[in-house]
C-alpha cells in the first residue's frame, strides 16, 4: 500500500489558526483509520488538525480533517502519556496556534464517544486547562492508582482527580506549553513521566474530570510488575519532592472526616481464584515481614512497625490494613526517598510487599463489590488528607521522628 506523505507542520507557513489539535500515537494503519472514523463521528464536520507520527495511505483523508506530521519522538507506550508526548504536542500546537489539544495516548476504541466530546468541551466550553477521563473500574483494577497516585495527589495538591496519570487528556494551550517546559527540564528523558495534575495545581490552573464510563484504561506493555511499580512510585515521589515547597504551604481543602470504617466482609463474593491471589499477596507480605525488618527499620517509625507486626499475624479472613497505617507508611517512604536513607531502588523494592498487603486488604474489603471498593478508596484518600500534617512535620524535621 502506497503512502501519502503528510504535510510537515514545521514547513507549513500558510496555515490558518486551528481551533483544535488532536494528537494520535503511532498506530497500525487499520487502527489509525478506525480512530479517524471515530473522531469524524464525534466531531462531525468541525475543522480538526490531526497530528500523527504515522503516514496515511492514499485517499484516506477525511472531510474537515487536516493531517499533519508530528515528531516521531512520541513514545508509543500506549499506556500513559510521557514527557515526550506533551513536548511533541506542544510543538505542533505552538506552530499551528491551537487553543485546545486532545492528546491521546492509545487506541481510541476504548473511550466512549461522549467521553471524547466531554473532554474537549471541558477545555473549550468550560475554560478548563486540563480535563481527564474518569473510569469506572472493577474492584480489582487500577490498584496502584487507588493505593498511591490518587490519594497522594488529592491529599497534597487538593486535586480530587481519580486518575492523575492519564493516557488521554484534553489540555488548553497554556497547559500543554507548561508541561512541555517541564519536559525541557529533563533533557534526554523522553520516557520520563510528567504529572499534569500536580503541575496544574501549582500553576493555579483549573482541572476537572469527565465520566468515561466502564471503559478500561490501557494496560502497560511492560511485563515486569516490580520494575513498573518502582518506576511509577519513584517518579511520583520525585515529583512530590520537587514540589515540596508548594504542598507544605498550600491551603488545600480541609480534610474530609473519614466515613465510618467499612465493616469487614465475609469475602463470600470472592472467587476461589481471587482468594488464591489474595493469599499469595498476604504470603508475600508475611515473607517480607520476616526478612525485611532491617530495611523497614531504616524507614518506618516503631509505631508503624508494631502495627505491621500485628498485621503479619492476622489470618487471611481478617486481614485488614488500616487506612491510617497505609497513609503513614506511604508518607514515611516518600520521606525516605527524599532523604536517601538507603538506595532508592532498594527502598521502592522494600515498599512493594507493603503495597501488596494494602491490595490484598482492599480486595477483601471490597468483596467484589464496586461500591464497597470505591468507598474503601475514598476512605483511604480521606486518611491521606488527615495524615497530611504527619508528612509535613516529618518532612520539615525528619530527625525528630528518626526511627
Please report, as ranges, the residues that interact with other proteins according to CB under 8 A.
79, 137, 140-145, 185-187, 189, 192, 219-226, 228-229, 232, 238, 242, 271, 273-274, 277, 280, 283-284, 287-288, 290-292, 295, 340, 342-343, 345-346, 349-350, 352-353, 359, 363
The secondary structure element, H or E, covering residue 210 is: strand 207-211
Pick the closer one to other proteins by CB: 257 or 272.
272
Burial 243-266 (b: 16+ CB within 10 A, else e): bbeebeeeeeeebeebeeebeeee
> Which residues neighbour 277 within 8 Å (Cβ) at sequence distance 6 or greater?
363
Pick the closer one to other proteins by CB: 261 or 274.
274
Residue 384 CB, nearest distance to other proteins (Å)?
A: 19
Pick the closer one to other proteins by CB: 22 or 232.
232
Residue 86 CB, nearest distance to other proteins (Å)?
A: 16
Residue 186 CB, nearest distance to other proteins (Å)?
A: 5
Residue 2 CB, nearest distance to other proteins (Å)?
A: 30
Closest CA to 355 of 275, 285, 273, 265: 285
Pick the closer one to other proteins by CB: 10 or 189.
189
Q: 350 and 292 in contact (C-beta within 8 Å)?
A: yes
Pick the closer one to other proteins by CB: 43 or 195.
195
Distance CA 232, CA 322 (A): 23
- How far is CA 250 from its chain centroid? 21
Residue 226 CB, nearest distance to other proteins (Å)?
A: 6
Pick the closer one to other proteins by CB: 196 or 217.
217
Q: 55 and 6 in contact (C-beta within 8 Å)?
A: yes
Distance CA 220, CA 39 (A): 24
Distance CA 277, CA 363 (A): 10
> Which residues neighbour 197 within 8 Å (Cβ) at sequence distance 6 or greater?
130, 132, 153, 157, 159, 161, 164, 207
Residue 104 CB, nearest distance to other proteins (Å)?
A: 18
Residue 216 CB, nearest distance to other proteins (Å)?
A: 8
Pick the closer one to other proteins by CB: 140 or 301.
140
Pick the closer one to other proteins by CB: 223 or 371.
223
For 37, other C-beta atoms within 10 Å of its C-beta total: 12
Distance CA 132, CA 210 (A): 6
Residue 291 CB, nearest distance to other proteins (Å)?
A: 5
- Residue 209 in grid coordinates: 474530570
Amino acid at each position: 500500500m502506497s503512502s501519502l506523505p503528510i504535510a510537515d507542520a514545521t514547513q507549513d507557513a500558510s496555515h490558518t489558526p486551528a481551533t483544535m489539535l488532536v494528537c494520535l500515537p503511532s498506530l497500525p494503519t487499520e487502527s489509525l483509520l478506525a480512530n479517524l472514523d471515530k473522531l469524524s463521528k464525534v466531531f462531525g464536520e468541525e475543522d480538526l488538525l490531526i497530528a500523527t507520527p504515522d503516514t496515511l495511505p492514499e485517499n484516506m483523508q477525511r472531510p474537515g480533517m487536516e493531517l499533519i506530521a508530528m515528531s516521531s519522538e512520541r513514545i508509543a507506550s500506549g499506556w500513559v502519556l510521557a514527557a515526550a508526548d506533551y513536548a511533541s504536542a506542544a510543538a505542533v500546537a505552538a506552530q499551528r496556534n491551537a487553543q485546545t489539544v486532545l492528546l491521546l495516548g492509545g487506541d481510541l476504541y476504548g473511550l466512549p464517544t461522549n467521553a471524547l466530546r466531554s473532554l474537549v468541551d471541558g477545555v473549550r466550553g468550560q475554560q478548563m486547562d486540563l480535563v481527564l477521563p474518569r473510569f469506572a473500574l472493577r474492584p480489582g483494577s487500577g490498584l496502584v492508582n487507588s493505593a498511591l497516585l490518587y490519594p497522594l495527589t488529592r491529599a497534597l495538591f487538593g486535586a480530587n482527580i481519580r486518575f492523575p496519570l492519564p493516557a488521554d487528556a484534553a489540555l488548553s494551550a497554556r497547559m500543554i506549553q507548561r508541561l512541555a517546559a517541564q519536559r525541557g527540564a529533563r533533557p534526554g528523558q523522553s520516557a520520563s513521566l510528567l504529572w499534569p495534575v500536580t503541575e496544574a495545581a501549582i500553576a493555579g490552573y483549573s482541572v476537572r474530570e469527565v465520566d468515561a464510563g466502564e471503559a478500561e484504561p490501557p494496560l502497560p506493555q511492560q511485563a515486569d510488575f516490580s520494575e513498573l511499580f518502582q518506576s511509577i512510585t519513584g517518579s511520583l515521589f520525585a515529583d512530590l519532592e520537587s514540589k515540596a515547597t508548594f504542598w507544605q504551604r498550600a491551603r488545600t481543602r480541609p480534610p474530609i472526616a473519614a466515613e465510618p470504617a467499612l465493616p469487614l466482609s465475609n469475602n463470600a463474593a470472592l472467587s476461589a481464584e481471587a482468594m488464591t491471589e489474595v493469599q499469595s499477596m498476604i504470603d508475600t507480605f508475611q515473607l517480607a515481614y520476616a526478612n525485611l525488618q532491617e530495611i523497614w527499620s531504616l524507614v518506618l517509625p516503631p509505631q508503624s512497625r508494631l502495627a505491621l507486626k500485628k498485621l503479619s499475624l492476622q489470618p487471611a479472613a481478617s486481614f485488614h490494613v488500616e487506612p491510617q497505617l497505609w497513609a503513614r507508611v506511604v508518607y514515611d517512604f516518600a520521606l525516605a526517598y527524599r532523604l536517601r536513607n538507603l538506595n532508592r531502588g532498594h527502598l521502592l523494592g522494600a515498599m512493594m510487599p507493603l503495597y501488596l498487603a494494602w491490595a490484598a486488604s482492599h480486595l477483601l474489603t471490597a468483596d467484589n463489590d464496586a461500591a464497597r471498593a470505591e468507598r474503601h478508596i475514598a476512605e483511604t484518600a480521606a486518611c491521606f488528607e488527615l495524615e497530611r500534617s504527619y508528612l509535613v512535620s516529618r518532612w520539615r524535621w525528619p530527625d525528630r521522628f528518626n526511627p
